Each structure stands twice: as C-alpha cells, then as structure tokens.
Amino acid sequence: MSRWRGQMEAVLSSICFGIAPIFAKKGLMSGLNPFYGATIANATALAIMIFFFFFSGRGMRLESVKRNGLFLAILSGICNSIALISIFGALSIGKVALVVPISCIYPLFTLLGAYLFMKESEVIDHFTVMGTFLIVIGVILTT
C-alpha cells in the first residue's frame, strides 16, 4: 500500500511539474526576465508553505529538528538553487534545443548518487537502471 502511495505521489508530482510550465510560459510571453517569474513562483509556494506549516501546528515541532538533517536540507536547497540558476544561465546563452535535453539527464545523477551513497536503503536493480535510462532517453526525444 505504501509503495503504491509513493508511486502515485511521484506520478502526481510529474503531472504538477508538467502543467506548471504552461502557466510559466504564458507569464514569460510578456517578455519578463525569468528570474522575476521564478521569484514570484517561489515566493508564492513559500508563503503557502509557511501558512500551512504554522497553522497546522507543525511549527511547534521545530525544536525537534536535528542539526544533521538541517544541514542536509540546506545542502539540498543550495543544490536546488544552483540547478535553477544554472538552467537560466544556460538558456540565456545557449540554444533551448541543446540545454533542455542535457538538463533532463538528472535522474542518471540521482541513480549514481544513490548507488554511491545510499546503498543501504536504495534497491538498485536491472528494472531501476533500465527504467531510468528509458525515461531519460524518452524525455530527451520528446523535448
């Protein structure tokens, strides 16, 4: 059941990630610098999350946050920001037809990272490797 839930959540995230650029594209048609668009989008999500976080009582649990977890979450946020900034940078100087397919290979780095650093908790078998490669090649062809 929990595996099914995880898979459905991943599919739902894919749907959300797939629909969002349609709205972003409509906003960018005004000629706005993408950094401003990303900032508005991020600020919206941050405001909703802060609201959700504190009004659901989750803010009270802040003291239970462990330093190691906090450090790793910050590291994840920094990587996220580097990804965001570098894709904008790449798009501003390069061709979309080249930049987008290259940036789509990120699941391969997750696969490699999981293999190297999370061997104890990640099951990486032939299905995982083949499935990941098929998706990456498929997405590159689609974009």
Residue 61 beta carbon to other proteins: minimum distance, rounded to whole angstroms: 6
CB of residue 57 to other proteins, shortest distance in Å: 11
Which tokens is 64 given? 């239970």
What would the two tokens of residue 38 be?
């990303």
Give the shortest CB-108-to-other proteins separation in angstroms: 7
CA distances 122 to 5, 113, 125, Å, are 17, 10, 10
- Cα–Cα distance, 102 to 143 (Å, whole number): 10
d(CA 85, CA 124): 30
State whether residue 57 is helix, strand or coil. coil
